[in-house]
Structure 1
Amino acid sequence: MTTTSALSGRDRAILRAVAAGGAELALGSEPDLFLDGRCCCDQAAVHNLVRAGLIAAAALGLVGQRVTAGLTLDGQAALGATPVVAA
Protein backbone atom coordinates (compact mmCIF):
# COMPACT_ATOMS: atom_id res chain seq x y z
CA MET A 1 0.00 0.00 0.00
CA THR A 2 1.60 3.26 -1.08
CA THR A 3 -1.33 5.61 -1.52
CA THR A 4 -4.55 6.26 0.31
CA SER A 5 -6.43 5.27 -2.85
CA ALA A 6 -5.19 1.72 -2.19
CA LEU A 7 -6.85 1.60 1.24
CA SER A 8 -9.26 -1.26 1.76
CA GLY A 9 -12.51 -0.98 3.64
CA ARG A 10 -10.81 -2.68 6.59
CA ASP A 11 -7.93 -0.17 6.47
CA ARG A 12 -10.42 2.69 6.58
CA ALA A 13 -12.29 1.05 9.47
CA ILE A 14 -9.05 0.78 11.45
CA LEU A 15 -8.26 4.44 10.72
CA ARG A 16 -11.76 5.45 11.87
CA ALA A 17 -11.33 3.43 15.08
CA VAL A 18 -7.99 5.11 15.81
CA ALA A 19 -9.52 8.53 15.08
CA ALA A 20 -12.32 7.79 17.55
CA GLY A 21 -9.78 7.53 20.39
CA GLY A 22 -8.76 4.82 22.83
CA ALA A 23 -6.04 3.51 20.51
CA GLU A 24 -2.63 2.38 21.71
CA LEU A 25 0.43 1.02 19.93
CA ALA A 26 2.68 -1.56 21.57
CA LEU A 27 6.05 -0.27 20.43
CA GLY A 28 8.45 -2.45 18.49
CA SER A 29 9.73 -3.11 15.00
CA GLU A 30 6.17 -4.08 14.02
CA PRO A 31 3.94 -2.14 16.44
CA ASP A 32 0.69 -3.83 17.48
CA LEU A 33 -2.55 -1.85 17.79
CA PHE A 34 -4.92 -2.05 20.73
CA LEU A 35 -8.37 -0.45 20.61
CA ASP A 36 -10.04 0.18 23.97
CA GLY A 37 -7.56 -2.28 25.49
CA ARG A 38 -8.28 -5.10 23.03
CA CYS A 39 -5.86 -6.31 20.39
CA CYS A 40 -6.85 -5.35 16.84
CA CYS A 41 -7.65 -8.51 14.87
CA ASP A 42 -5.75 -7.53 11.71
CA GLN A 43 -2.21 -6.69 12.80
CA ALA A 44 -0.91 -7.11 9.23
CA ALA A 45 -3.15 -4.24 8.14
CA VAL A 46 -2.01 -2.20 11.15
CA HIS A 47 1.64 -2.78 10.25
CA ASN A 48 0.93 -1.58 6.69
CA LEU A 49 -0.87 1.53 7.98
CA VAL A 50 2.01 2.36 10.33
CA ARG A 51 4.60 1.81 7.57
CA ALA A 52 2.52 3.99 5.23
CA GLY A 53 2.69 6.78 7.83
CA LEU A 54 -1.06 6.89 8.50
CA ILE A 55 -0.93 5.81 12.17
CA ALA A 56 1.79 6.80 14.65
CA ALA A 57 2.62 6.69 18.34
CA ALA A 58 1.89 9.99 20.08
CA ALA A 59 4.86 9.54 22.46
CA LEU A 60 8.20 7.82 22.72
CA GLY A 61 8.48 4.67 24.82
CA LEU A 62 10.30 1.41 25.36
CA VAL A 63 9.94 -1.67 23.17
CA GLY A 64 6.76 -3.49 24.19
CA GLN A 65 5.34 -0.47 26.00
CA ARG A 66 1.86 0.69 25.02
CA VAL A 67 1.54 4.36 24.15
CA THR A 68 -1.33 6.42 22.81
CA ALA A 69 -1.74 6.13 19.05
CA GLY A 70 -3.28 8.58 16.65
CA LEU A 71 -3.61 9.40 13.01
CA THR A 72 -0.85 11.33 11.30
CA LEU A 73 -1.61 14.24 9.02
CA ASP A 74 -1.66 11.79 6.11
CA GLY A 75 -3.96 9.46 8.05
CA GLN A 76 -6.32 12.32 8.78
CA ALA A 77 -6.25 13.36 5.13
CA ALA A 78 -7.15 9.81 4.12
CA LEU A 79 -10.31 10.15 6.20
CA GLY A 80 -10.85 13.86 5.57
CA ALA A 81 -10.63 14.60 9.31
CA THR A 82 -8.73 16.95 11.66
CA PRO A 83 -5.11 15.98 12.53
CA VAL A 84 -4.35 14.44 15.94
CA VAL A 85 -0.68 13.37 15.62
CA ALA A 86 1.88 15.16 13.46
CA ALA A 87 3.72 12.94 10.96
Structure 2
Amino acid sequence: MAMLRAVAARRAQMSCSCEPDLFIDGFACCDQMTAHALAHGGYIRPAESTGLSAVTGRVPAELTEAGEAALAVTVAA
Protein backbone atom coordinates (compact mmCIF):
# COMPACT_ATOMS: atom_id res chain seq x y z
CA MET A 1 0.00 0.00 0.00
CA ALA A 2 2.93 2.33 0.66
CA MET A 3 3.99 2.03 -2.97
CA LEU A 4 0.49 2.90 -4.14
CA ARG A 5 0.41 5.90 -1.79
CA ALA A 6 3.75 7.11 -3.18
CA VAL A 7 2.47 6.79 -6.74
CA ALA A 8 -0.72 8.67 -5.77
CA ALA A 9 1.43 11.43 -4.24
CA ARG A 10 3.32 11.74 -7.57
CA ARG A 11 6.60 10.72 -5.97
CA ALA A 12 7.16 7.70 -8.22
CA GLN A 13 8.71 6.96 -11.59
CA MET A 14 8.79 3.74 -13.60
CA SER A 15 11.36 2.37 -15.99
CA CYS A 16 10.26 1.73 -19.55
CA SER A 17 10.72 -2.02 -19.79
CA CYS A 18 8.73 -5.25 -19.86
CA GLU A 19 9.56 -5.65 -16.14
CA PRO A 20 9.09 -2.05 -15.00
CA ASP A 21 11.11 -1.01 -11.99
CA LEU A 22 9.68 1.54 -9.58
CA PHE A 23 11.60 4.49 -8.17
CA ILE A 24 10.34 6.55 -5.23
CA ASP A 25 11.88 9.98 -4.63
CA GLY A 26 14.60 9.03 -7.13
CA PHE A 27 15.61 5.80 -5.35
CA ALA A 28 14.92 2.27 -6.55
CA CYS A 29 12.31 0.46 -4.45
CA CYS A 30 13.76 -2.33 -2.38
CA ASP A 31 10.87 -4.65 -3.33
CA GLN A 32 10.89 -4.73 -7.12
CA MET A 33 8.91 -8.00 -7.12
CA THR A 34 5.96 -6.10 -5.65
CA ALA A 35 6.52 -3.21 -8.06
CA HIS A 36 6.37 -5.67 -10.98
CA ALA A 37 3.22 -7.26 -9.54
CA LEU A 38 1.53 -3.85 -9.21
CA ALA A 39 2.37 -3.00 -12.82
CA HIS A 40 1.42 -6.39 -14.27
CA GLY A 41 -1.70 -6.53 -12.09
CA GLY A 42 -2.91 -3.22 -13.50
CA TYR A 43 -2.62 -1.08 -10.38
CA ILE A 44 0.04 1.31 -11.69
CA ARG A 45 1.09 2.38 -15.18
CA PRO A 46 3.41 4.83 -16.87
CA ALA A 47 1.94 8.32 -17.13
CA GLU A 48 2.14 10.20 -20.39
CA SER A 49 5.71 10.84 -21.41
CA THR A 50 7.18 14.16 -20.36
CA GLY A 51 10.51 13.80 -22.15
CA LEU A 52 12.21 12.44 -19.03
CA SER A 53 12.45 8.92 -20.43
CA ALA A 54 15.03 9.99 -23.01
CA VAL A 55 17.31 11.24 -20.23
CA THR A 56 16.67 8.82 -17.36
CA GLY A 57 14.88 5.85 -18.93
CA ARG A 58 12.04 6.58 -16.52
CA VAL A 59 8.62 8.15 -16.77
CA PRO A 60 6.24 9.29 -14.04
CA ALA A 61 4.05 6.52 -12.63
CA GLU A 62 0.33 6.90 -12.03
CA LEU A 63 -2.44 4.85 -10.48
CA THR A 64 -4.98 3.07 -12.62
CA GLU A 65 -8.64 2.87 -11.62
CA ALA A 66 -7.84 -0.44 -9.88
CA GLY A 67 -5.01 1.22 -7.95
CA GLU A 68 -7.25 4.07 -6.87
CA ALA A 69 -9.92 1.60 -5.76
CA ALA A 70 -7.37 -0.40 -3.74
CA LEU A 71 -6.26 2.76 -1.94
CA ALA A 72 -9.86 3.79 -1.31
CA VAL A 73 -10.59 0.46 0.37
CA THR A 74 -7.64 0.83 2.76
CA VAL A 75 -8.57 4.44 3.61
CA ALA A 76 -12.15 3.43 4.36
CA ALA A 77 -11.12 0.54 6.60
Q: TM-score range by the shorter chain?
A: 0.7 to 0.9
Gaps of 5+ in 2: none
Q: What residue number does 1:13 align with? A: 2
Aligned residues: 69
Higher-RCO chain (CA-CA 8 Å, sequence separation at least 6): 2
Residue by residue over 1:5-56, the C-alpha shift from the partner in whole angstroms, topping out at 9 and shown as x without a partner, is xxxxxxx111111111121001101000011111011000000000110000
Task: Please point out which of 32, 43, 50 is paired with 2:21.
Answer: 32
Gaps of 5+ in 1: 1-11, 82-87
Structure with the larger helix share: 2
| Residue 67 of structure 1 pairs with residue 59 of structure 2 | yes
Whole-angstrom CA distance in 2 between matches of 1:65 and 1:57: 12
Moved beyond 3 Å, runs of 4+: none
Structure-1-length-normalised TM-score: 0.71
